[in-house]
Amino acid sequence: MHTVNSRLLEIIGILLFLLIMMSCKHDIPIQVIETPVTGGEQTCSADTVYFQNSVLPLLNSSCAMSGCHDAITHKEGVNLTTYGNVMATGGVRPGDPANSKLYKVLNQTGGDRMPPPPAAAFTQAQKDLMYKWILQGAKNNACNDCDTTLFTYSGAVSPLMNSYCKGCHNPASTGGGFDLSTYAGVRSIALNGKLLGSIRHDAGFIAMPQGGNKLSACRITQVQKWISAGSPNN
């Protein structure tokens, strides 16, 4: 009787162990070292692609959304939320875009293409941007590209939407029901106060860009000035 009981206990023990192992199968987060950003105060050079200014906002709004390559889901182990994570998990070979997974997936067909259908493929300009950034060494660089005296729709607001918001707010994927790929769409959230409230992270609004860093103070000021001017299509 005694031996049967200890056998039983042994089996229960093994089953419990297996259960615990199975529930712990989520991969252990990779310890990512974040390299400091270089050049943030320098004016931008037209020949250089800057990770912080162009690449990260694009990845955040087209790839690092919830359910895809954000910190929680990180599909196929790919987490595209920060420079360190992109370099640790995105298959980037600095200087060699043609053999970098992060670039190659943009040109694949069918379901292998990233972002996968029904999301739109990257435009040629966006693909070129990724290519050039990797070719130039895939650095964690930045430049000062914001000027608070510029606050027209075409010069400031629309480019900001394209880089930081459109990936989640377009006709195919209208986050919260908002399409920010058109002037009319942006104007509607400017008028109801949600644009400013969401980017300033004001209480009572959902903070935007979702899952990304807060926009710089300069960018928020540009939007604020544009709204104060009556959100014109200028």
Shortest distance (Å) from residue 105 CB to ligand HEC: 18
CA distances from 37 to 139, 146, 202, 216, 220 (A): 8, 17, 27, 15, 21
Report how far residue 144's alpha carbon sits from residue 147's, in angstroms, rounded to the nearest whole number. Answer: 8
Nearest to ligand HEC of 65, 156 (CB atom): 65
137: which 2 tokens?
Answer: 């060494």
Which residues touch 158 (CB under 8 Å, ≥6 apart)? 183, 186
Report how far residue 12's alpha carbon sits from residue 1's, in angstroms, rounded to the nearest whole number. Answer: 17
Tokens 């990512």 label which residue?
Answer: 32
Nearest to ligand HEC of 65, 143 (CB atom): 65
Nearest to ligand HEC of 97, 222 (CB atom): 222
Nearest to ligand HEC of 89, 162 (CB atom): 162
Q: How far apart are the first and last CA of the chain?
A: 88
C-beta of residue 180 within 8 angstroms of C-beta of residue 186 = yes
* Selection from 96, 167, 174, 107 nearest residue 138 by Cα: 96
Nearest to ligand HEC of 135, 196 (CB atom): 196
Q: Which residues bind ligand HEC (CB under 6 A)?
A: 60-61, 65, 164-165, 167-169, 175-176, 178, 189, 194-195, 198-199, 205-206, 208-212
Shortest distance (Å) from residue 229 CB to ligand HEC: 17
Which residues touch 154 (CB under 8 Å, ≥6 apart)? 234
Shortest distance (Å) from residue 115 CB to ligand HEC: 11
Shortest distance (Å) from residue 10 CB to ligand HEC: 49
Shortest distance (Å) from residue 172 CB to ligand HEC: 13
